[in-house]
Amino acid sequence: MFSYFDVLSVQILFSSFILMANKRIKSYIKTFRIQSLLIALTAGAMGFSLEKGRIDLLVVCLLIIVLKVILIPNMLEKTYASVEYIVEKDFILNIPILVILSCALVVFSYFSVSTIEGINSGIINAQIVNSMSVILIGLFFMISRKKAIGQIVGFLVVENGLYVTALFSTHGLPFIVDLGVFIDVLTAVVIMGFMVFNISEKFDSIDIEKLNKLRG
Amino acid sequence: MEALSIRSMFQVSIMFYVIAAVISLVFIKKQRLCNTASNLICAAGSVFGMSASILKIFSEESLIAIHIFQSSIPFISADIKIDNLSAFFVLSLSILVFCVSLYSIGYISTYVGKRNVGLFNFLYSTFILSMFFVMTSGNAVFFLLAWEAMALISYFLVVYEGEYEENQAAGTLYIIMTHVGTVFLMIGLMLVFSHTKSFDIFGSSVGIPILAKNIIFILFLVGFGAKAGVIPLHIWLPYAHPAAPSNVSALMSGVMIKTAVYGIFRFIFFFLGAAHIWWGITIVILGVLSTVLGVAYAYIMSDMKKTLAYSSIENIGIIFIGLGVSFIALAQGNLMVGSLATVAALLHTFNHSLFKGSLFLGVGSIQYSTHTKNIEKLGGLIKKMPITALFVLGGAISISSIVPFNGFIGEWFVLQSLFANIVSGKAILNLLSIISAAALALAGALAIATFVKLYGISFLGLPRSEHALQAKEVPVIMNIGVGIPVVLCLIIGVFPMLLLRVADKVVFDLLGVSLFGQLKGGLMIVYHPLKIPGSVISPAAALIALTIIAVLAMLVIRVIGGKYIERRYGTWDCGFEALNSRMQYSGEAFSNPIKIVFRMLFRPSNELRAVGGSTYFPESLEYVTEFELIFEKYIYNPAVYLMQLFSNRAKVKIQAGSIHSYLIYIFVTLIVLMTYNRFA
């Protein structure tokens, strides 16, 4: 019935695969832009298609475009420009292995989610599986990257995944919840950008492997 | 109509406490006004609480329900349900709150200008409120919330004088122990929920299988035992009570540790039911342990509040013995003995809150005027503070369970229930009863010695320090606060039927058996139910007999000895120039014989050191005596050591400092949870 939602969710999943395969930090941010745009599209499409016509979802769509497609990536690019000059290998394992592991994560989330009652009537709800996979891949992305910007983008992808999961499973959260989530993310990014800047000042690098003093 | 008015009285009582809390925050700048106002309002609230709970116990209404708020979220609702058991505990709370609030008007005024009095009053009134809610909550979630609120607020009150390091340490120990207890309670309540699918406290436990019931019993016993301070879970109590201001210690010792007794009544006795004999045996053994060891430690302490704290452990032990006997009797279907023992436990709970409250307040008065609670620095206070001395004497007699005061009644009933529990053909149970009775008698004797020491060393003789010399009688309002519970102790002691009638009504509500018919004999006399002629006692008659004997003795002495002439001489001082306070028997010396007799328990070590000068001609001698706290040394210290070892290892191995490994922890947790989701 909502086949174009299926298509969108697959595209969002695919964008996170692209993210996993990216080599350069600048392209992380670009991919994040694309993924956020896809999510905005999903929200917008949902706002039009649902029988009652959820206007607040359209507002959410606009918010996503302003915040996650324009504002946050711009901020990240600015931070990146001010801290890092040298291009070096950023990932722990090599790209093909990372992508294969991500595939395994998709299979795993299918394996895990398929038994939840209520979200699938007869056939497995592919949208939920896809968006759960986005969460896992985002987290995995955070693990696989060494530079702090990679962690920020990974965090944002996890957040995107959570939001999409919520969107697909509820067809529109209460508006106030949406607003809260967006403001949280914005604050988080502002703080993290600031922290990255400080880290680079202190350590002359944003490689988080050098931050190993955090222990009780 | 009647039930309606009782309900509104309870509501008014709650409202008063809330208003007191709000007022103390509003007038936080005007400390004196804030202190007087909020304490008076608390006292007013307690008057309503008192009368409402008495009316409730004697009304026909079985359950009074008040909904504070309800929400559509499942299990999140605050509803109060008051049955006779709750009302009994609320009565005990309200009486003590009334006295302590009056007392606090004077006591807290020493803090004016030095500390944040408004904050104290706020904490004080919310503390009362939280105890009220613990005793009246209608569902387990609300109960746990109130329980936690009570623990946290009392923690803040314990560390109110937080600049002393020992107070901080006491607070930390307290909050750790109380949280360990709460964890057990939480697990227990969740287990209950997993079988009954309901958080209703008044529900039925029919659906719970036997094994689960046993596990739940142990969880609840540990959880409530930690709060009650039963040995071996008592270690927080002797530190937290002395650290708190005296009025708070009175409430903590008088009522807060009783909320655990309430919890055992409510969740084990009432909800789970007395299913097995071994439950009762466990409770009795814990009780005996606490009674004997508690009073043994109380005897050797030289800090007055520590003595009182250990004596609380003893009294909790006595209550536990009563409870345990009722479990044993009920598990065997012996309703009569069961109700007798339950009445005994309830009586002692109530009595203990009165006399322990008055003693803590009395010690607070001593601290107020001498600024010390160390018994070795006091002495001769009876001349400086005669009214306080009188009231503390009353409290001390009462806690030593000597006849015309109420402490005797509770202990007498516990002993009677122990004797009644002896039936032919059950050798081991009989042995337990006999040993418990003997232990109780031993504890009674030690308790008398403890309070002879506490009273004698601090009030009699010559002042041992400048502080004691400068002591002055405390303000009247404080003396009223100390005096009311002592007077109540005497009234209940002489006319035990007053309280027995109340306790019997409560037990009738719980078990459906009334003892009252078998306790007949008017207001003054208490019969034992078994109608054995030897086990009848009438405290009023004892009091009259005592008076008559005293008067007769006086007369006889007058008649035989003739008229005596008063001569004022100095006491013979062996040729020294004058007697001074160092020649008196000290508290340490008083307790040393017992320390040596029970050296297996205390492991005392004495050392005489020469200070200054040469070895043969020292300038002064120093006598150091120490003892071991075996539970701390052999149970808690190794446990703490292991914990620290584990934490250090964990710090190196698990918390390695790498952000990637932390991220991997999150990732692995997520994967495990999702796998669990697949198979659950």
ipTM, interface predicted TM-score of the complex: 0.87
B-proximal residues of A, 66-125, CB under 8 Å: 92, 108-109, 111-116
> Does residue B401 sit in the same domain as residue B514?
yes
Residue B522 is assigned to a structural domain of this protein: yes
Q: Which residues contact B468 (CB under 8 A, 6 or more apart)?
A: B370, B372, B377, B378, B379, B380, B381, B384
Contact criterion met (CB < 8 Å) for A139 and B670: yes
Cβ-based neighbours of A94, under 8 Å, separated by 6 or more: none
Question: Which pLDDT score, from 0 to 100, does residue B116 have?
Answer: 87
pLDDT for B536: 67
Same domain, B330 and B421: yes
Residue located via tokens 């596990």: B215
Per-residue pLDDT at B1: 47
Residues B279 and B402 in one domain: yes
Count structural domains, chain B. 2
**Residue B513 belongs to some domain of the structure:** yes
Conformation bin of residue B379: beta by default, left when phi > 0, alpha when psi is -120 to 50: left
pLDDT digits (tens, 9 = 90+) for A65-111: 998 899 889 988 888 888 766 666 777 788 899 999 999 999 998 88
What type of residue is A99? V
Please indicate, yes or no, if residue B50 is contained in any of the structural domains.
no
pLDDT of A216 higher than 60: no
Distance CA A138, CA A126 (A): 18
Residues B472 and B619 in one domain: no
Three-class secondary structure of residue A121 per DSSP: coil
Q: Is residue B296 part of a domain?
A: yes
Q: What is the pLDDT of residue B57?
A: 87
| Same domain for B395 and B306 | yes
Q: What is the pLDDT of residue B531?
A: 55
* Residue B378 shares a structural domain with residue B482: yes
Q: How many residues does chain B have?
A: 680
Task: Decide the pairing of beta strands B605-613 and B536-537.
Answer: unpaired
Q: Could you say which of B527, B545, B561 is where a domain stops?
A: B561
Is B346 inside a domain boundary? Answer: yes
Residue ranges of alpha helices (H) inside B371-496 are: 381-384, 386-399, 407-420, 427-459, 466-469, 476-494
pLDDT tens for A117-150 read 665 554 557 788 888 899 999 999 998 988 888 8
- To probe the interface with A, which of B649, B672, B674 has the most A CB atoms within 10 Å? B674
Does the residue B413 lie in any domain?
yes
In this structure, are B316 and B448 located in the same domain? Answer: yes
pLDDT the model gives residue B529 = 52
Same domain, residue pair B649 and B557? no
Mutate to test the interface with A, among B665, B671, B672 (most CBs of A within 10 A): B671
Structure tokens at B663: 């991220």
Q: Do B677 and A136 touch (CB under 8 A)?
A: no
Contact A109 B674 (CB under 8 A): yes
With contact defined as beta carbons under 8 Å apart, do B259 and B224 qualify? no
**pLDDT on residue B195:** 87
B229 in any annotated domain? no
- What are the residue ranges in chain B where pLDDT is below 70? 1-4, 516-536
> pLDDT digit string (tens) for B635-669?
888 988 999 999 888 878 877 777 888 888 999 99
Q: Are residues B387 and B504 in the same domain?
A: yes
The answer to whether position B438 is within a domain reads: yes
Q: B503 with B419, same domain?
A: yes
In this complex, which of B651, B663, B666 lies closest to A216 when CB atoms are compared? B651
DSSP B613-659: E-SSSEEEEEEEEE---HHIIIIIHHHHHHHHHHHHHHHHHT--S-H
Same domain flag for B548 and B610 = no
Residue B77, strand partner residues: B70
Task: Look up residue B489 and give its amino acid.
Answer: C
pLDDT, mean of residues A33-42: 92
Residue A122 has a pLDDT of 47
Q: Least CA distance to A209: which residue of chain B? A: B658
The residue from B504, B539, B561 where one domain ends is: B561
What residue numbers bound the domain in which B641 lies? Answer: 606-680
Candidates A92, A136, A211; nearest CB to B670: A136
Residues B483 and B545 in one domain: yes
3 state DSSP class of B229: coil
Q: Number of A:B CB contacts under 8 A? A: 48
Residue A215: predicted pLDDT: 62
Q: How close is the nearest chain B Cα to the Cα of A81, in Å?
A: 23
* Residue B234 CA, distance from chain mean position: 12
